[in-house]
Structure 1
Amino acid sequence: MSTSAGAQAGGNAGVVVATDGSAAGSAAVRYAVAQARRTGTGVHVVHVLPSYVPVVPMLPLIPDDLHAVGRSILVEAVQVASEADPHAVVRTELRSGPTAREIVEAAGAARLIVVGHESTPGWERVFTGAITLEVAAHAPCPVISVPEDWTREEGRRERIVVGYQDVAHEADLLPHAFVVAAARDADLTILHAWKLPGCYDDMIVRRTHEDEWHAAARERIESQIAGLRADNPEVEVDVSVVHDQPAHALREASKDVDLLLVGRHADSGVRHLGSTARALLREATCPVEVVPTRLLGTPDEELRLERAGAPLK
């Protein structure tokens, strides 16, 4: 394995991984090495020093010993990468400043950012959980969050689930899902979950139109992916439509798959994640990939209903 330090932002590394020295950070490093091996690229390991630490007056805001700790975290990350793949090409970079912003800037033109899944409860997420969410909301490339205790089950074909919202939102996400599934030799499930708000769900859907709406949704999805099926015949694809809250349905699906894919509207002018993506980044039990997608023109009424959880029509 070859290593170097002080990489420029983005560099030529295909995969950027952020680590904080925790178990989740080490899991992210191992996952990044595996991704780099698949794509034939290097790994750029980034650690961001705290931008503020409480110290007594007359001492520097970021003392030299913090730099020493940061360098030791990077050394440990290189060791983790070496154990995962002795032939991995790894570069390291020590930065300081707002953590999420520095990770995104370090990524530059990278293909992928990998971070550790943050599952800290309650008030602690104010200081930790927000980092993963902010990176996923602002990164120009896909971001994968990896649970610290996740390991791939050996001896079976990989399984990937992509959350489907509607035609306008998934113009980029579905082609990306097929590419990822083909590269991993994985089965792909396209999961569309819907639920109407309040009493409308019971009165209008479950008593009258549930089967019709399921069939219409499947037909619409199958029509959209017909070309993708033809271009990727090696990918086994299943379309699943369920009556459930989307975050809950995808959270349940995460218990038995190797990767969840969800989209983020990269050109909507708003740099934040939807509620489903936020919930999955906190609660999913498998790696979650957030993919920036273009938002195509959608009639205002259809978008309003979709945001309320209405099914495809």
Structure 2
Amino acid sequence: MTGAGVSAGGRVVVGVDGSEPSVQAALYAAEAARRRGVGLLVVHVTPWQGFDDALPMAGREVKARFEESATLLVEAAADTVRQETGSGDVTAAVVDDHPVDGLLALSADAALVVIGRRGLGGLPGLLLGSTAGAVAQHARCPVIALPEEWDETAARTRPVVVGIEGGSGDDEVLAFAVAEAASRATGLEAVHAWRDPSLEAALGGFGPFVDWSVVEEDERGKLSRAVAGWRDREPGVPITETVVRDRAAAALLDASAGAELLVVGHRHRGRFGRVGSTTYGLLHRAACPVAVVPLER
């Protein structure tokens, strides 16, 4: 299937670029699709949109060869998924668009978008900076960024970890995280990190006189209230609560070392807004796959 009008149609979407990490992402996405009971759409997005009329004949020939190579690339990835998983509901497509724009368009009606953290460049953050980070930042559905050489089988005894802010978006993030934990038959660890460097700086020498245990107790209450209803809604998922006096990025990076999946929320800041520093750091450095759940402003 080729064209800019490809639709996800409620499937899990995975972007591939011919690299081994992207093939591993496709296999990971196939398992995510199986758990959801939906099909898998394997796509390679080419940056040649609108060049047909502008390019001379030689350029069009180059474009045709490029598209042929792209088709072979994406079909090879899809065939690997079919052979490795036995799934018959795998579709391959070449989308004629900029990689970020193409994946964002597909996210409008996708169940999930999966993308590898590294691409053909082999450098951490190279693909992330140009594609994965931008997709996670603006996608209309959850996005999972997969680290290189991730061993899903070895991680299956680990919990899903979810970052809780203690704010209005927690329920959306928890809904995704609880569903992931339930589908994986594992537990959920809810992590709430609290630290206010600006307040600590303002207190100056008075910091030692503050009863931080009172503050911590209040933060524990925020976390308990956030997860309380989910224990009743999904009693089969054991939920543990962890409160850490630290920056969110540091606390969640530590938690990712023992997680099967790390789930965080991200608020859209407009077309030209940047992904938050916490989410950006986790996408780059987390030891496990990171799921970014889009939140309303």
Q: How high is the TM-score relative to the length of structure 1? A: 0.81
Q: Report whether the alignment pairs 1:217 with 2:219.
A: yes
Letter in 2 for 1:197: P
SS in 2 for 1:240: strand
Q: Is the 8 A contact 2:155 2:259 kept in 1?
A: no
Q: Report whether the alignment pairs 1:186 with 2:196.
A: no
Q: Residues 277-288 of structure 1: matches in 2 within 5 Å? A: 277-288=279-290
Q: Report whether the alignment pairs 1:148 with 2:148.
A: yes
Q: Report whether the alignment pairs 1:294 with 2:296.
A: yes
Cα displacement (A) at 1:232:
1.1
Q: Unmatched 5+ residue regions in structure 1?
A: 296-313
Counterpart pick for 1:47 among 30, 37, 44: 44
Instruction: Say if 1:253 and 1:96 are closer, same or farther in 2 by CA, change over 3 A.
Output: same
Partner in structure 2 of residue 274 of structure 1: 276
Partner in structure 2 of residue 256 of structure 1: 258
Instruction: Say if 1:80 and 1:116 are closer, same or farther in 2 by CA, change over 3 A.
Output: same
| Cα deviations by residue, 1:21-62 (Å, 9 ceiling, x for unpaired) | 112211210111001111111101110123499xx9974175
1:118 and 1:209 mapped to 2: Cα distance?
Answer: 45
Partner in structure 2 of residue 25 of structure 1: 22
Partner in structure 1 of residue 139 of structure 2: 139
SS in 2 for 1:171: helix
Cα displacement (A) at 1:155:
8.4
SS in 1 for 2:130: helix
2:163 and 2:99 mapped to 1: Cα distance?
Answer: 28
Q: Report whether the alignment pairs 1:60 with 2:59.
A: yes
SS in 2 for 1:136: helix
Letter in 2 for 1:97: D
2:207 and 2:42 mapped to 1: Cα distance?
Answer: 49
Q: Report whether the alignment pairs 1:15 with 2:12.
A: yes
Cα displacement (A) at 1:218:
1.3
Cα displacement (A) at 1:214:
2.1
SS in 1 for 2:71: helix
Q: Is the 8 A contact 2:194 2:219 kept in 1?
A: no
Partner in structure 2 of residue 129 of structure 1: 129
Q: Is the 8 A contact 1:16 1:110 kept in 2?
A: yes
CA-based RMSD: 2.8
Q: Is the 8 A contact 2:155 2:260 kept in 1?
A: no
SS in 1 for 2:241: strand
1:156 and 1:28 mapped to 2: Cα distance?
Answer: 17
Q: Which moved more, 1:7-16 or 1:30-39?
A: 7-16
Partner in structure 1 of residue 197 of structure 2: 197
| Cα deviations by residue, 1:51-77 (Å, 9 ceiling, x for unpaired) | 499xx9974175322112211211221
Q: Residues 79-98 of structure 1: matches in 2 within 5 Å? A: 79-98=79-98
Q: Which moved more, 1:104-113 or 1:228-237?
A: 104-113
Partner in structure 2 of residue 163 of structure 1: 163
Partner in structure 2 of residue 247 of structure 1: 249
Letter in 2 for 1:78: A
2:41 and 2:6 mapped to 1: Cα distance?
Answer: 9
Cα displacement (A) at 1:294:
2.9
Letter in 1 for 2:172: D
| Cα deviations by residue, 1:59-96 (Å, 9 ceiling, x for unpaired) | 41753221122112112211221233112411111122
| Cα deviations by residue, 1:135-156 (Å, 9 ceiling, x for unpaired) | 1111110001111210124485
2:237 and 2:130 mapped to 1: Cα distance?
Answer: 35
Partner in structure 2 of residue 104 of structure 1: 104
Letter in 1 for 2:82: S
Q: Is the 8 A contact 1:246 1:276 kept in 2?
A: yes
Percent of counterpart pairs with the same letter?
29
SS in 2 for 1:256: coil
| Cα deviations by residue, 1:75-124 (Å, 9 ceiling, x for unpaired) | 221122123311241111112232110112134411101111138658x7
Letter in 2 for 1:84: E
Letter in 2 for 1:38: R
1:207 and 1:262 mapped to 2: Cα distance?
Answer: 34
Instruction: Say if 1:180 and 1:128 are closer, same or farther in 2 by CA, change over 3 A.
Output: closer
Q: How high is the TM-score relative to the length of structure 2? A: 0.85
Counterpart pick for 1:35 among 32, 35, 43: 32
Q: Unmatched 5+ residue regions in structure 2?
A: none
2:128 and 2:224 mapped to 1: Cα distance?
Answer: 40
Instruction: Say if 1:104 and 1:19 are closer, same or farther in 2 by CA, change over 3 A.
Output: same
Cα displacement (A) at 1:276:
0.8
